[in-house]
Amino acid sequence: MEQLAERELARLAAAGLEKCLAKFNGVSPGNWRLEGLRVFAGTAADAAREWGAGRPAPERVRVGVASQPPFETLLLLNPAEADHLNGCFVNEKLYKEFGTGRRETALLEIGNILLNALANSLLKLFGKTAIPSVPELLPPGPAPAGGAGLTLVAARLSAERGGRTAKILLLALVPAELSLNK
């Protein structure tokens, strides 16, 4: 992918995520920030390395995008930070009453909102329309595997509340032919 196209992709993806996070900050008790975003050519193994060696296996929310060709987006987070992340998203009363079902529902909703913001920014740049899949919560496990010839978008986000911060990694694994045909 040409550097100019990578910069444009990064600019539009960052703008879409910043707009989404501004809305989060307006309605949730946490402070949400985009800490960094990069676009690069690579493989799914390169995307997995973005999570970082030595960290716990990430909990993942996956949203597929049925464009031509299809691509996928993932939210990765440390399972130990999941309850705090939820607390950055919902009000205090609900935060203290999380049961298993509510925890998963909140993670799915956070993933749905953030991953759709990322996917829609990419689709807009590519001149495509598609309906993203229903979000899927995956148990802690390895970051993505397989897949070569990808354009990768890696966005690092943070959500802070009460002096504590949760870190999130958003990934888009886009087939190179889609990103090159914009």
Question: In the predicted model, is pLDDT for residue 99 greater than 70?
Answer: no
* pLDDT number for residue 179: 65
Distance CA 41, CA 6 (A): 9
Question: In the predicted model, is pLDDT for residue 146 greater than 60?
Answer: no
> What ranges do the domains of the chain cover?
3-180
- Residue 107: Cβ-neighbour burial (10 angstroms; 0-12, 13-18, 19+): buried
- pLDDT tens digits for range 80-96: 898 889 889 987 555 44
Question: In the predicted model, is pLDDT for residue 17 greater than 50?
Answer: yes
Question: In the predicted model, is pLDDT for residue 180 greater than 80?
Answer: no
Task: Provide the whole-model pTM.
Answer: 0.89
**168 bridge partner residues:** 77, 157
CATH superfamily placement of domain 3-180: CheC-like (3.40.1550.10)
* pLDDT number for residue 3: 62
DSSP string, 115-166: HHHHHHHHHHHHT----BPPPEEE-S--S-----SEEEEEEEEEEEETTEEE
User: What three-state secondary structure class fits 179?
Assistant: helix
